[in-house]
Amino acid sequence: MPKKSMTLITGFVSLVALMSFALKNEADFTKGTIHSAKKDSIESVKAFKDVYKVLMSPRCMNCHPAGDTPLQGDDSHPHSMLPQRGKDGKGIYTMKCANCHQATNLAGLNMPPGHPDWHLPPADMKMVFEGKTPQELAKQLVNPNTNGNKTLKQLLEHADDGLVKAGWNPGEGRTLPPISHAAFKKAWITWIENGAFAPSK
């Protein structure tokens, strides 16, 4: 990603600045396989509302905590026994995620949910959702410096990431995100393809 655009997104907060960010990134878009002919800030921001609802739901936010301890449950309380993020996001010492979280969900209530790559964002890029406003989260998501070094193309593809999809397969007794994965994916793509605009707040 060109350094220039990163400075822009971090340097400006106005809608104009965000629009200019989107425009600046148009080049990347046209190079990618996904081509969007039209951009619509209103459509984009509208779609992000759904995106935000999902990302801030416990199934997504619980592993994007503000601190270094994951959250747990539909009330997003700190994970019992307070495991720590660790450098790679996979825990530390005796408390590695995979020590309890298996490759798949386990049958039964309150069992640790599973995924082969269960982890938090790493320490050098924490990708915090917890406590973020829609605007803050949108800006964070499009900025490779804060989104896990993802290009917009990679960001688009991220909707089908295994760990993202695990949010819709959370194990017995856990509430699903507020909309289906298909609806989420549609909103996600709509948001990005329409310019990845950030809401005003």
Partner 1 sequence: MISLTINNKPYQLDIDPNTPLLWVLRDHLDLVGTKFGCGLAQCGACTVHLNGEAIRSCVTKVSRAEGQKVVTIEGLSDTGEHPVQKAWLELDVAQCGYCQTGQIMSAAVLLNQNKNPTDKDIDAAMSGNICRCGTYLRIREAIHLAAEIQQKNG
Partner 2 sequence: MTQAKSSINRRSFLKSSALAGGGLMLSFTWLSSFKEAGKLTDPELADKWIELTSYIKITPDNQIKILNPNPEFGQNVMTSLPMIIAEELDADWQTIIVEMGPHDNMKLGPQFTGGSNSVRMYWKPLREAGAAARQMLLSAAAQTWNVPMEELSTKDGIIHHVKSGKSGNYGQFATKAATIPVPKDAKLKEIKNFNVVRNSKKNVEGQKIVTGKPLFGMDYKQEGMLIAMIEHPPAFGMKLKSFDASETLKMPGITDVFKQELYPEDFEQGGFDTRTFNDLLVVVGKSTWEVMNARKKLKVTWEPRGDAKDVFGGRGGKREVIVPGALESTDAQRKKMQELASQPAQELRKDGDPEAAFKNAAQIIERTYNAPFLAHNCMEPMNFFAHVTEDKAVLAGPLQAPGWTEPMLSKLLGLPPEKIEIQMTRMGGGFGRRAYGHYLGEAALISKKTKAPIKLIYSREDDMTYGIYRPMYTATYRAALDANKNLIGFHVKGGGIPEHPVHANRFPAGAIDNYLAEGWSIPSNITIGAFRAPRSNFNAAAEQSFLDELAEAMGKDPIDFRLELLKRAKENPVGKNNDYNPDRYASVLQLVKEKSGWNGAENKKYSRGVAAYFCHNSYAAHVIDFIIKDGKPVVEQVFSAVDCGIVVNLDAATNMVQGAVVDGIGNALYGALTHKEGAAEQNNFHRYKIIRMNEAPQKIEVHFVQNDLDPTGLGEPPFPPVFGALANALYKATGKRYYDQPYGPQLNPRRAF
Interaction site with partner 1 (CB under 8 A) = 80-84, 92-96, 98-100, 102-103, 106, 110-112
Q: Specify the residue, 67 or 178, whose C-beta has the smaller distance to partner 1.
A: 67
Q: Which is nearer to partner 1, 99 or 180 (by Cβ)?
A: 99
CB of 167 to partner 2, least distance (A): 20
Instruction: Residue 77: name its binding partner from partner 2, partner 1, none (Cβ under 5 to 8 Å by kind).
Output: partner 2
* Residues facing 193 on adjacent strands: none
Residue 64: exposure state from Cβ atoms within 10 A (0-12, 13-18, ≥19): buried
What's at 49, amino acid-wise? K
Alpha helix positions (H), 72-195 = 134-142, 152-158, 162-165, 181-193
Are the C-beta atoms of 39 and 22 separated by less than 8 Å? yes
Residue 150, both tokens: 């993802």
CB closer to partner 2 out of 42 and 81:
81
Torsions phi, psi of 72, nearest 5? Answer: -150, 145
Contacts to partner 2 from residues 54-93, by CB under 8 A: 77-78, 80-82
Stretch that binds partner 2, among 5-13, 46-54, 107-115, 142-150 (CB under 8 A): 107-115
CB of 174 to partner 2, least distance (A): 12
Amino acid, single-letter form, for residue 185: K
151 interface partner picked from partner 2, partner 1, none, CB below 5 to 8 A per type: none
Interface with partner 2 by CB under 8 A: which range of 2-10, 44-52, 103-111, 180-188?
Answer: 103-111
Instruction: Give dist(CA 61, CA 118) in Å, integer.
Output: 14
Distances (CA, A) of 32 to 26, 38, 88: 10, 15, 29
Q: Are 171 and 114 in contact (CB under 8 A)?
A: yes
Find which of partner 1, partner 2, none residue 102 binds, CB within 5 to 8 Å per kind: partner 1
In this complex, which beta carbon is closest to partner 2, that of residue 16 or of residue 107? 107
Strands (E), 95-143: 95-96
State the minimum distance, in angstroms, from the CB of residue 108 to partner 2: 7
Under the rule (CB under 8 A), what is the footprint of partner 2?
77-78, 80-82, 107-108, 110
